[in-house]
Structure 1
Amino acid sequence: MAASLPDTDHDTPLARAVAEDARKRIALTGRVFPKPAQTRVLTVANQKGGVGKTTTTVNIAAALAQAGLTVLVIDIDPQGNASTALGIEHHAEVTSIYDVLVEGTAMHEVVQECPDVPGLWCAPATIDLAGAEIELVSLVARETRLDKAIAAYLEHTATEGGVVPDYVLIDCPPSLGLLTVNAFVAAQEVFIPIQCEYYALEGLSQLLKNIELIRSHLNPDLHVSTILLTMYDGRTRLSAQVADEVRAHFPDQVLRNTVPRSVRVSEAPSHGQTVMTYDPNSSGALSYLAAASELADRGAASDPSAPAQN
């Protein structure tokens, strides 16, 4: 009788990935995330482009909303990619966050509800934002205009009997102009997506210097609360090395869950959707859902207004 070959199918990378996805699906499906003690305002920022910043913003927002929370995404990137991914109209004639920052329009007049995800709202960006950097220079209190607009929106929503957002996520352009400065002044927390590649830590050090400048001069409550490792490839030594180094420097801020490279995540915006509705069973969607769950649990476990040590 011929000797049987050892069964190694259960120890392949694909098998491990499938098992991990199944575990996440069982743990998270139908779970209602805990509400924070007060509205958490997070600026999603990274001065390095192509790290999954907008993708992270919209998918974390959609995951939180699908789990029973109310979320507002503020798109202050002139490219308007977050607005596109959420299926929000943002052509030139639409009243947008530009009108809020430059013209003083009330935030509640520009906010639109996401058509695919109940509880998810968006203040869209239009191409007019491309000139906002120049127009803001001459305006009074130019660095605090977004902060005041968000505060007025939260107050208006509460006064009018609306649902006050549990989370406000601000998607920034990949630069430190006045738009990004407004986002840093408006938030208590910075959420940094980091791509698991060689140059990731270089961009991070510069970003932290700029955050420290904002803390010193404009917003002493600002702190880095959350770091998410994106485009993680467990098959490569480089991804593991970058992940280990980031975790060593920021043990309290880095989420345990990582987001893998995913074709589904990349495809979703072309359909005007997040991956959470485009393919909710994909590895990318499950990873963002797990990261959002961890973010919500951390927020409910402590007072989100208390600055953390960087």
Structure 2
Amino acid sequence: MPDGKIIAIANQKGGTGKTCTTVNLGIGLANQGKKVLVVDTDPQGDLTTSLGVKDIDDLPITLSTIMEKIIEDIPIKPQEGILHHEEGIDLIPANIELSAMEMSLVTAMSREYVLRNYLQQVKQNYDYILLDCMPSLGMITINALSAADSVIIPVQAHYLPAKGMTQLIKTIGKVKRQLNPQLKMEGILITLVEGRTNLAKSVSTTLREQYGSAVKVFKTEIPKGIAAAETSAEGKSIYACDKDSSVAKAYEAFTKEVLKDGEKQRHQSEPSLSR
């Protein structure tokens, strides 16, 4: 049985391509034969909508319902609330009820670990679990970071993120020190790259110079594309909508980078048999 690697896709700045990355990395991994669960941890429900779920406010079970059961110590069935997408991934949806859950967490016992306690129950069913984080550093995002093995930070190519990035990296460091010692920085993904503009090149160079020694910056950069914006309206991935586009090819290359890193980390963590 697999024992899923949990990756949080986080940036407290909105519009960086977090949800698009979660969808296309998730389905990219499924295309490579991996069992994948994606979790919407944003009350806006963008991931849920992007995967074609309609009337999200009428869903009987969402992440909020599941977290409430964990807090109340009510047993959860293994497949409870999990939706299946036609491109081979599973989804735990979210809607506006998650905002109220964030308030409930303030008084909950072991409040930072509620999501982790749930994911520990289902992760043996998956190779990868991807958490699409909301653009904030509130209690739900802290739950995601406390549950994760690693973090991917998508960053817009046309925006120098120095201040926001520093704050996010500090928060990740604090979670690692105080709540989740196993947490690793998977890497920074440069997204929404507009052609070969000087600004995009400048941001890419600056990120690699400023952070490259401490944090991996993925070789693959995701171009901005009209098709990518249209896929969420169709509830499908870029592979289903425009598999020959530059965006699809970039997400495929990025998926292979993530897989390669995962294999390398797994190999390093295995005890040597020759000792």
Decide whether the 8 Å contact of 1:102 with 1:136 is kept in 2: no
Within the candidate set 76, 83, 89, 1:112 is matched to 83
Alignment of 1:1-310 (within 5 A): 38-89=3-54, 90-104=56-70, 106=76, 108-115=79-86, 117-118=87-88, 120-155=89-124, 164-248=125-209, 249-251=211-213, 253-303=216-266
Q: Which of these two proteins has the greater Rg computed from alpha carbons? A: 1
* 1:7 equivalent in structure 2: none
Instruction: Tell me by how many angstroms 1:305 deviates.
Output: 8.6
Change (3 A) 1:151 1:247: same
Work out the CA distance in 2 between the residues paired with 1:268 and 1:304. 35
Change (3 A) 1:76 1:250: same
Q: Secondary structure of the residue that 2:57 maps to in structure 1?
A: coil
Instruction: Tell me by how many angstroms 1:93 deviates.
Output: 3.4
- Between the two proteins, what is the percent identity of the paired residues? 33
Instruction: Tell me by how many angstroms 1:304 deviates.
Output: 7.8
Query: Higher strand fraction: Structure 1 or Structure 2?
Result: 2
Decide whether the 8 Å contact of 1:114 with 1:121 is kept in 2: yes
AA at the equivalent of 1:201? A
AA at the equivalent of 1:239? A
Change (3 A) 1:304 1:206: farther
AA at the equivalent of 1:300? E
Instruction: Tell me by how many angstroms 1:297 deviates.
Output: 1.2
Q: Secondary structure of the residue that 1:168 maps to in structure 2?
A: strand
Instruction: Tell me by how many angstroms 1:38 deviates.
Output: 4.4
Decide whether the 8 Å contact of 1:88 with 1:114 is kept in 2: no
More moved, 210-219 vs 198-207: 198-207
Decide whether the 8 Å contact of 1:187 with 1:222 is kept in 2: yes
Work out the CA distance in 1 between the residues paired with 2:79 and 2:137. 26
Work out the CA distance in 2 between the residues paired with 1:53 and 1:75. 11
Q: Which runs of 4+ in 1 moved over 4 A?
A: none
* 1:28 equivalent in structure 2: none
Q: Secondary structure of the residue that 2:7 maps to in structure 1?
A: strand
Uncovered stretches (5+) of structure 2, i.e. residues with no partner: 270-275
Instruction: Tell me by how many angstroms 1:88 deviates.
Output: 3.4
For 1:112-164, what per-residue CA distance to the aligned partner results, in whole angstroms no more than 9, with x for missing partners? Answer: 1112x12x111110221121111111211111011010001135xxxxxxxx2
Work out the CA distance in 1 between the residues paired with 2:39 and 2:194. 30
For 1:33-60, what per-residue CA distance to the aligned partner results, in whole angstroms no more than 9, with x for missing partners? Answer: xxxx842110000011111111111111
For 1:82-120, what per-residue CA distance to the aligned partner results, in whole angstroms no more than 9, with x for missing partners? Answer: 1111223533332011011123363630111112x12x1
Aligned length: 261
